[in-house]
Amino acid sequence: MGKIMTAIGLMSGTSMDGIDVALLRTDGDAIVERGPSAGYAYGACFRDRLKQGLEDAKSIASREQRPGILADLERELTLRHSEAVRTFLQYNNILRESVDLLGFHGQTVLHRPDDGLTVQIGDGALLARETGIDVVYDMRANDMEHGGQGAPLIPAYHAALARSAAANGELVAPVVFVNIGGISNLTFIGSDDGLVAYDSGPGNTLIDQWVEAHAGIPFDQGGMIASEGSVLPDLAERYLLNPFFSTEKRRSLDRNDFAPPQGKDANLEDGARTLAYVTAAAIVKSAGHLPTTPRTYIVCGGGRLNPVIMRDLASHAKAYGADVLAAEAIGFNGDSMEAEAWAYLAVRSHRGLPLTYPGTTGVRQPLTGGKYASGTAR
C-alpha cells in the first residue's frame, strides 16, 4: 500500500460550462476517501472565448502550437483554475499546505487520435506557481505517444469505485459507468475486474449546440425543451447509422465528430427531443461492443440531470435486462466524479502507476503518464 495523499482534481470538460473541483484522500489504488467538491461556472463571455479557441485550434499541427487566441486563452484558463482552487480551499477551511497534489486536466481544444494528436490547454507550471501546490498535468499525451487513443482516462477510478460498491453488495455485475458530458463514454468492469472503456457517442454537446443556436440558451435545463417535442425517426437514424457505432475498432471522439442538425431538420422542441433520444440510444448501441451485456448502468455527468435522456436510457437498457441508476443512488457524486478521478489519477501518476490500459485506450501495455510541476511553497 502506498502513502495516502490529499489531492484536488480540476476538470473543465467538453461542455465548457465551468470548472469542477473535488478533493480526495487516496493511495491511488484501493483507498479512496471522498472529500468536498464544488463547481465554478464560466460566464458567457469566457465560454465564447473557449468556442473561439476551438476554432483556432483546428489549424494546430503539433502539440506545442497555440495559434490565434490560444496562448492568451491558456493563461486566462489557468488563472481561473488557480482562483477556483483558492476559493475552494477558503470555503472549506482547508490549508494549502495540507494538499499534496493538484490533478489538472486543462481544456481539450483538439483531439485527433487517428493522428496521434491531442491538445489540452492549461499551463501546469503557472498553476503550480500561482497556488503553491505541486501539479500533475498533461496526462493524456504519453498514452497517445505510445499508440493509445488518449481517452478515456477515468476507468482506473471507476474500477476503484466499483470495487468499493461491490464489496458492499450494492451492484449487480457486470457494471458499466456512463459519463454523459459533452461526449459520452463507457467504463465496463467485468466480474474479474477486467476493464474495457471507450467513447460511446455524443452526450450533451449536440443538444447544447442546438438549443444555443435556436433558443439562445446554453443547455436544455432539466430537459424542459425536449419534453415538449417528439422524436423524429429519420433524424435519429441519421446519427445512429454513423459508421462510428458499427466499426469494431473503438475510438475516442472530438466534439466536432458529430454536427448538430440544420435548422430545416426540426423545430426547437423536436430537435432537442430527438437529440436526447440519440444520446441515450448511442450509449446502449455502443455497449454492444462490450465483452458481455451489462446488468447495471451507473450514470454520472450533466446528462443524468436530463430526465428525458434518463428515461430513454432506462427504456433501451431494460430491453437488455439492465437497470439504470444515477450515481447518487449508490452514494456517488455524479457532478464531481470526473474531478475526483483527476485527483486519483494525479496520485497514480505520482506513484508511477498505470493511467491507461489496452482495454481502455488501446495502448499496447498498461502505461502511466502526466507531467509534474513543483509548487513554489514546497
- Tell me how far apart the 2 most distant CA atoms of the chain are, in Å: 59
pLDDT at residue number 14: 78
Closest CA to 12 of 36, 31, 40: 40
Tell whether residue 17 is among the known ligand binding residues: yes
**Residue 369 · residue 139 · CB < 8 Å:** yes
Tell whether residue 18 is among the known ligand binding residues: yes
Which residues, including other chains, have CB under 8 Å from residue 214's CB and lie 6 or more apart?
Answer: 263, 268, 271
Per-residue pLDDT of 166-214, as tens digits, reads 766 667 788 999 999 889 999 999 877 678 999 999 999 999 999 999 9
pLDDT at residue number 288: 95
Task: Take residue 237 and report the three cell numbers written for it.
Answer: 437514424
Strands in 42-149 per DSSP E:
101-104, 107-112, 117-121, 135-137
CATH 3.30.420.40 domain extents, the chain? 5-148+368-373, 155-330
Which class is 155-330 in CATH? alpha beta
**pTM of the predicted model, to two decimals?**
0.86
Tell whether residue 15 is among the known ligand binding residues: yes
Tell whether residue 13 is among the known ligand binding residues: yes
Degrees, nearest 5: CA angle 268-274-275: 90
Tell whether residue 14 is among the known ligand binding residues: yes
pLDDT at residue number 368: 97
- 251: exposed, middle or buried (Cβ count in 10 Å: 0-12, 13-18, 19+): middle
CA–CA distance, 378 with 366 (Å, rounded to integer): 31
**Residue 344 · residue 32 · CB < 8 Å:** yes
CA–CA distance, 251 with 151 (Å, rounded to integer): 8
CATH number for the domain formed by residue range(s) 5-148+368-373: 3.30.420.40
Residues of the chain with pLDDT under 70: 1, 167-170, 193, 377-378
DSSP letter string, 175-187 = EEEEEESSEEEEE
Closest CA to 224 of 278, 274, 273: 273
pLDDT at residue number 171: 77
Closest CA to 26 of 375, 344, 361: 344
CA–CA distance, 155 with 177 (Å, rounded to integer): 8
Looking at the chain, the number of H-run helices and the number of E-run strands are 11, 13
Strands in 42-123 per DSSP E:
101-104, 107-112, 117-121
CA–CA distance, 204 with 220 (Å, rounded to integer): 9
Tell whether residue 16 is among the known ligand binding residues: yes
pLDDT at residue number 378: 44
Per-residue pLDDT of 57-112, as tens digits, reads 999 999 999 999 999 999 999 999 999 999 999 999 999 999 999 999 999 999 98
Please state the three-class secondary structure of 262-280 as a single string.
CHHHCCHHHHHHHHHHHHH
Task: Take residue 320 and report the three cell numbers written for it.
Answer: 437488455
Q: Is the peptide bond before 152 cis (omega within 30 degrees of 0)?
A: yes
pLDDT at residue number 232: 98
